[in-house]
Amino acid sequence: MANIILLGPPAAGKGTQAQRLVDSRGMVQLSTGDMLRAAKTSGTEMGRQVAAVLESGGLVTDEIVIGLIAEKLQQGAAGGFIFDGFPRTLRQADALAALLANHSLQLDAVIELVVDDTALVARVAKRAADAQAQGLPVRKDDTPEVLEVRLREYYKNTAPLIGYYWAKQQLVQIDGMAEMDTVSAAIAKVLDKA
Ligand code: AMP
């Protein structure tokens, strides 16, 4: 059992790789983006509060996402947790360290999916087009304008976590531009060593 963070900009492939780990290893994916979108559609007070932020591509408050993660950690995960899209700020990273310590859990690796911006723009356009073609809902934040905001947020608030975890010797960088299976194999190698 291992607990890992998947770090990387929007559309780096975090969600896809997390889903594969859920299927192959019985890990539990904690995606704050999914939780926030669910809160939005379920019409909760918190969902109403965050709706506009989600659509703008900005970050919701640290308190909200830390609260969501704290709640999920209570439930435990025999196969380990995958933190997907969390932490996104240094405050969230510190809060996660404290929460894990409270549950006597350790963080085994922080896996950064390294991709380039041009590819991300193309990936997001493809994600939106694929969803539309299949009659699936298109994420409102998968537009070029909102992607730009999300990328800015990433570089301003989240990219500093790369240095933070590197200094803690927990960072593993993987080429996120490789084929999906190659990325999965590289992640599996990290997990097998953990
Ligand atoms: P994602 O599905 O990870 O791309 O997240 C979608 C949106 O949810 C982001 O653009 C943010 O508005 C919000 N969000 C998700 N995770 C976080 C987080 N850890 N901190 C702040 N906002 C978040």
Spans of all domains in the chain:
4-193
Per-residue model confidence (pLDDT) at position 117: 85
Q: Which residues contact 186 (CB under 8 A, 6 or more apart)?
A: 174, 175, 178
Q: Which of 14, 20, 40, 72 is catalytic?
A: 14
Is 9 close to ligand 1, i.e. is its CB under 6 Å away?
no
Per-residue model confidence (pLDDT) at position 194: 83
Give Cα 39 distance to the centre of its chain: 17
What ranges make up the beta strands (E) of the chain? 4-7, 28-31, 81-84, 109-114, 171-175
3-class SS of residue 84: strand
Q: Which residues contact 172 (CB under 8 A, 6 or more apart)?
A: 109, 110, 111, 112, 190
Dist. CA 179 → ligand 1 center (Å): 25
Is 53 close to ligand 1, i.e. is its CB under 6 Å away?
yes
* 20 annotated active-site: no
Q: Quick one: what percent of the chain has pLDDT higher than 90?
A: 86
* 123 annotated active-site: no
Best probe residue, ligand 1, of 41, 59, 156 (max atoms within 8 Å of C-beta): 59
* 88 annotated active-site: yes
Picking from 8, 194, 192, 184, the residue whose alpha carbon sits closest to that of residue 105 is 194
Q: Which residues contact 8 (CB under 8 A, 6 or more apart)?
A: 14, 112, 113, 114, 115, 176
pLDDT greater than 90 at residue 119: no
Dist. CA 124 → ligand 1 center (Å): 15
CATH, domain range 4-193: 3.40.50.300
32 and 186 Cβ atoms separated by less than 8 Å: no
pLDDT greater than 90 at residue 124: no
Is 123 close to ligand 1, i.e. is its CB under 6 Å away?
no
* pLDDT single digits (tens) 144-182: 899 999 999 999 999 999 999 999 999 999 999 999 999
Is 147 close to ligand 1, i.e. is its CB under 6 Å away?
no
88 and 5 Cβ atoms separated by less than 8 Å: no
Buried b / exposed e across 20-50, counting CB within 10 Å, b at 16+?
bbeeeeebbbbbbbebbbebbeeeeebbeeb
112 and 162 Cβ atoms separated by less than 8 Å: yes
* pLDDT single digits (tens) 29-65: 999 999 999 999 998 999 999 999 999 999 999 999 9
